[in-house]
Structure 1
Amino acid sequence: MLDLTIGTWVLAIIAAAAVGLAKGGLAMVGMISVPVLSLAMSPVQAAGLMLPIYVVSDIGGLIAFRRDFDLRVLATALPGAIAGIGIGWAGAHVVPVDGVTLIVGAVGLIFALNALLRPALSGQGRAPSPARGTFWGVLSGYTSFVSHAGAPPWQVYVQPLRLPALIYAGTTTWFFAICNWVKLIPYAALGQLSPANLKAAAVLMPVALLAVWAGLRLVRIIPEALFYKLITWGLLAVSLRLVWQAVA
């Protein structure tokens, strides 16, 4: 078991709950998990601790959204995401984490501001595109590999499609579940799934699973228009936090 202080355990519980809420359909919430935990440990260790929690939480989300997803969107984005994970693995010892964190935050910040300042984005959705899906999928897979922060690039691709709230939540859950399964291979090869990390993750998993249930309840009672507003504002807040984390 990791030798964590009480304060670190509190942050870890918050991070685990954020993961569970994300898997329950509130995707943006999950992005705070690694940044929150990085307040008390290195981002690499935090990412290693969180991945098993993501994987287990995925199971609850996949059961809940077993019928609510868009296969076309997944088909256009997943090949690029898997390639992005491979790129992250290949450059794991070369690219500084702060640089990737800054890119993730900047992309999310630009998109969130664009969505807030251009109401037309909430109109008719566009169709899934293999070209756009591959491009943003690569970025999402890469940043997800580095710090589980693949949501902003994914949002840039998916939010303009204007999927119904449940389909959006389910498609997001399936996309990141598959990415997380794939990430287990390079994380294990890089030694980030240590016995100490796995034991601590096991303690935190019940928190995450309870949060999955809470997220499922919330995503079904929040009106669709409000749902997208919350996503956009959540993306803006988290992106600002990531930019600050990278430059501070």
Structure 2
Amino acid sequence: MSVPTLGPETWLLAAMAALCIGLAKGGFGGLGMVAVLLMAQVLPARESTGAILPMLITADIFAVKAYHQHADRKLVLRLLWPALAGIVCGWLLMPHIPAHVFGRVIGWLTLGLIVLVLLQKYGGNMLKFAAEHPGVAWPFGWLAGITTMLANAAGPVMTIYLLACKLPKMEFVGTAAWFFLTVNLVKVPFSTSLGLINGSSLTLNLILAPLVIGGVFAGRWLIRKVNQQVFEWLMILFSLAGAIRLILK
């Protein structure tokens, strides 16, 4: 496996993306969107979705190890089937999106997900029905599947649904950890078939793995030290700036 040829500034962006992935799985979920946007600056947007996937799985494994006993497995199964359908839809759609516009696709998806995050913050009881009607899991699961296949960007979708289900904090984290580990493992053969995971991308993953793992532990420690509201707003603003840059690039 050859080491990817990247400049110093690009390596710095890749390292920041890896750290953001670990921090996101360690408790700062908003950094997931930032990681996606950073990797889209390191590699062509389409290839970046495959390069980031093994790093997500690495972080998911540590998150499951930490929180597995708190997961609501029935809820995971309820979401999993529509998510699988969404992954297949994303896999079929991805080859038909021209490479030169794929960065814009990620940018627009991110903007849409930022809107969903704001809706979750200020929508009051608008999404409470999600907890009362299990059938609502299907559109949320499908949307999570297609966005994670196209851009590894299902975090905000799942955050909104799980918050609407009124899960206690630990069950929220454990359920999300199991869901994302399962879904990301399912995505591996699809991404490989599209050539998005290869020897060069796996070498990059190995080099950045310590930052991913360190980020998970740092996130678990920092979550008790940092004002969550201020941090989330910073992540929204960073994501907004990155999305606009991808759209206009």
Deviations 1:129-185 (A, max 9, x none): 432211011111111111111112222322222322222222212111111100101
Instruction: For 1:141, give the aligned amino acid.
Output: G
Gaps of 5+ in 2: none
Aligned to 2:166: 162
Q: Which residue is equivalent to 1:179?
A: 183
Aligned to 1:20: 22
Q: 1:92 pairs with 66, 75, 94, which one?
A: 94
Aligned equivalents of 1:182 and 1:55: distance in 2?
A: 10
CA–CA separation in structure 2 for the residues paired with 1:63 and 1:196: 28
Kept in 1, the 8 Å contact 2:25–2:219? The answer is yes
Cα distance, 1:125 vs structure 2: 8.8
Residue in structure 2 matched with residue 244 of structure 1 by the alignment: 244
Q: Which residue pairs with 1:150 in the alignment?
A: 154
Q: Give the length in aligned residue pairs.
A: 243
Paired position in structure 2 for 1:108: 113
Q: Over aligned residue pairs, what C-alpha RMSD do you find?
A: 2.7
Is the CA contact (8 Å cut-off) linking 1:24 and 1:216 kept in structure 2? yes
The alpha-carbon deviation at position 34 of structure 1 amounts to 2.1
Q: How does 1:1-248 map to 2 (within 5 A)?
A: 1-95=3-97, 97-98=102-103, 100-118=105-123, 120-121=124-125, 127=131, 129-219=133-223, 221=224, 227=228, 229=229, 233=233, 236-237=236-237, 240-241=240-241, 243-248=243-248
Is the 1:102–1:243 contact (alpha carbons within 8 Å) kept by the matching residues of 2? yes
Match of 1:6, as an amino acid?
P
In terms of mean alpha carbon deviation, does 161-170 or 97-106 score higher? Answer: 97-106
TM-score (structure 1 length as normaliser): 0.86
Contact 2:33 2:110 in 1 (8 A): no
Summarize deviations over 1:55-78 as a string: whole Å, max 9, x none. 122211110011122223212211
Q: Which amino acid aligns with 1:166?
A: M
Cα gap change, 1:238 to 1:162, in 2 (>3 Å): farther
Aligned residue type for 2:192: A
TM-score by length of 2: 0.85
CA positional deviation for 1:116: 3.9
Aligned residue type for 2:217 = W
Q: Return 5+ residue gaps in structure 1 as ranges.
A: none
Are the aligned partners of 2:130 and 2:137 in contact in 1 as well (CA < 8 Å)?
no
**What amino acid maps onto 1:240 in structure 2?**
L
Separation in structure 1 between the aligned mates of residue 26 and residue 9 of structure 2, nearest angstrom? 26
Q: Matched residues in 2 for 1:77 and 1:99: separation?
A: 28
